[in-house]
Amino acid sequence: MGNMDAPALLWFRQDLRLADNPILAAAGHRPVLPVFVLDEAAAGRWAPGGAARWWLHHSLAALGAALAARGAPLLLLRGRAEALLPALAARTGAAEVLAGRLYEPWARARDERLAAALRAEGRRLVLLPGALLREPEQVRSGSGRPYAIYTPFARAVAALGDPPPPLPAPERLRPVPEAPEGEPLAALGLLPTPPQPDWAAEFPALWTPGEAGAQARLARFLAGPLRDYGAARNNPGTEGTSGLSPHLRWGEVSPAQVWHAALAALGGDRAAARPFLAELLWREFSYHLLWHRPEMPEAPLRPRFAAFPWARDPALLRAWRRGRTGYPIVDAGMRQLWRLGWMHNRVRMIAASFLVKHLLQPWQDGAAWFWDTLVDADLASNSASWQWVAGCGTDAAPYFRVFNPVLQGERFDPAGRYVRRFVPELARLPDRYLHRPWEAPEAVLRQAGLALGRDYPRPVVEHAAARRRALATLREVAEDDAA
């Protein structure tokens, strides 16, 4: 393990927590220097988007306070990690840089460069698991190959048993004798700044970034929605989901802790816990795919789809982004996304399907918008889920599944609580017409104070015609793929 008396650099990345953090356990009683490097050049187009940057700012503030309270303040740096960290290790005499494993292709390439730079100076980069329940190499099919289908993957992970129990947070940390000065948090420029409007103004009403916020969100979920998760998670008008995705994305809570806490809250009843644990396993599956198929964020995993004849239309893409498609459940989701940096899981599927299938816009354009606007934007989950909806992933929705946005709205938001909240111009429409306002008689529209085409758009496409066009186009590609 190198010189166990020499200091260690604790390189925080997507593990912004103290509890169940293997890098803290591996540091032992050595002097430590916690450091975070904003390295946007290495990430390139996958540097955090606007909403994720907002989250990161507040998460770093929380982590910095928690580390300072334990005696070792967080050093903030900006620039290329493979240059900054070897210099910092040399300056402090650190023998090792301890970091949580990352799985994104750009991060893996950077880790290799950093490891080589440290090795040249007689130092080590030590990468530790902690972001997943199981490492991608641990989960192999009977033939030894990676999994391409979710269900056998989930069974294989379950067969490995529960993840190890979570580790406690350290009481105290031993700091390096003379820590260098870093950047102040504000200098990282993570928050929206004038003359930009403060598009994140409503975020704090819903979110508390940081480890304490993650623990509070977990406790709230365990005490309420978990018990009815199987049914309630599909209803966007109620708080039926965990809301843990951004906390997991930034590693403010470990998936192992969430797994054990959910089981404990249900008295160990695995059948009752299964619907929620399956969501954690979908996250695992997304990382498994990303690790073995690093092209996933940019290229379809089914090669035939590379030549898909998209009908690119900037006006349609803009209408979708702004929540102005004329389909209320889609528009409510897109406006929720813009206002709160998050969208309900069921509505993500509906909105994504609408973009790809009704509008025939490339899934990569939808994924890019989600990347910039979601506080939980996660490269593995975002790209795996978009490929699933588009039908071009390894384990995809069948091409002929085209969500009907009217029926989806009526089924999952029957009382209209969700649509009325996020599309208030429709609030006075009766339930009967809320998800199909174009069918409302003129008198009903007048009574609701609504003029279609002025207060709310008419549908940008007609559902039946769009469905026929999507099926004809998709069938051609899918049949070629099967040939």
Residues 157-176 pLDDT 10s:
999 999 999 999 999 999 99
11 is catalytic: no
The mean pLDDT value for 429-450 works out to 98
345 is catalytic: yes
Domain span at residue 237?
Answer: 132-163+210-292
354, 215: one domain: no
178 is catalytic: no
Whether the model pTM is above 0.75: yes
288, 330: one domain: no
Inform me whether the pLDDT recorded for 350 exceeds 50. Answer: yes
Q: What is the per-residue pLDDT across 21-49, written as a single tens digit (0 to 9) for each?
A: 999 999 999 999 999 999 999 999 999 99
Mean pLDDT of the chain: 95
Quote the pLDDT of residue 266. 97
Query: What do you get for the CA distance between the two ends of the chain, in Å?
Result: 53
Let me know if residue 155 belongs to a domain.
Answer: yes
Let me know if residue 191 belongs to a domain.
Answer: no
> Final residue of a domain: which of 261, 292, 323?
292
Q: What is the per-residue pLDDT across 459-474, written as a single tens digit (0 to 9) for each?
A: 999 999 999 999 999 8
Confidence of residue 483 (pLDDT cuts 50, 70, 90): very low
CATH of the domain at 77: 3.40.50.620
Q: What is the per-residue pLDDT across 296-340, written as a single tens digit (0 to 9) for each?
A: 999 999 999 999 999 999 999 999 999 999 999 999 999 999 999
24, 125: one domain: yes
221, 309: one domain: no
281, 259: one domain: yes
**From 55, 363, 371, 388, the catalytic residue:** 363
386 is catalytic: yes
The mean pLDDT value for 223-235 works out to 94
Quote the pLDDT of residue 196. 77
Percentage of residues in the chain with pLDDT exceeding 70? 98
Inform me whether the pLDDT recorded for 430 exceeds 90. Answer: yes
**From 135, 310, 404, 476, the catalytic residue:** 310
Inform me whether the pLDDT recorded for 481 exceeds 80. Answer: no
The answer to whether the Cα torsion of 341, 346, 350, 353 is positive or negative is positive
Inform me whether the pLDDT recorded for 194 exceeds 90. Answer: no
What domain count does the chain have?
3
The answer to whether 373 and 365 have CB atoms below 8 angstroms apart is no
Confidence of residue 360 (pLDDT cuts 50, 70, 90): very high
Percentage of residues in the chain with pLDDT exceeding 90? 93
**From 40, 135, 183, 282, the catalytic residue:** 282
Let me know if residue 421 belongs to a domain.
Answer: yes
Cβ-proximal residues to 283 (8 Å cutoff; 6+ apart), any chain: 248, 255, 378, 380, 381
Q: What span, in angstroms and rounded, lies between the C-alpha atoms of 451 and 5?
A: 73
139, 241: one domain: yes
106, 214: one domain: no
Q: What is the per-residue pLDDT across 362-414, written as a single tens digit (0 to 9) for each?
A: 999 999 999 999 999 999 999 999 999 999 999 877 778 899 999 999 999 99
Which residue in 48, 110, 40, 119 sits closest to 82, CA to CA? 110
Quote the pLDDT of residue 395. 84
404 is catalytic: no
The answer to whether 35 and 85 have CB atoms below 8 angstroms apart is yes
Q: What is the per-residue pLDDT across 42-98, written as a single tens digit (0 to 9) for each?
A: 999 999 999 999 999 999 999 999 999 999 999 999 999 999 999 999 999 999 999
**From 46, 342, 386, 388, the catalytic residue:** 386
337, 420: one domain: yes
**From 279, 410, 425, 476, the catalytic residue:** 279
21, 63: one domain: yes
Let me know if residue 182 belongs to a domain.
Answer: no
288, 315: one domain: no
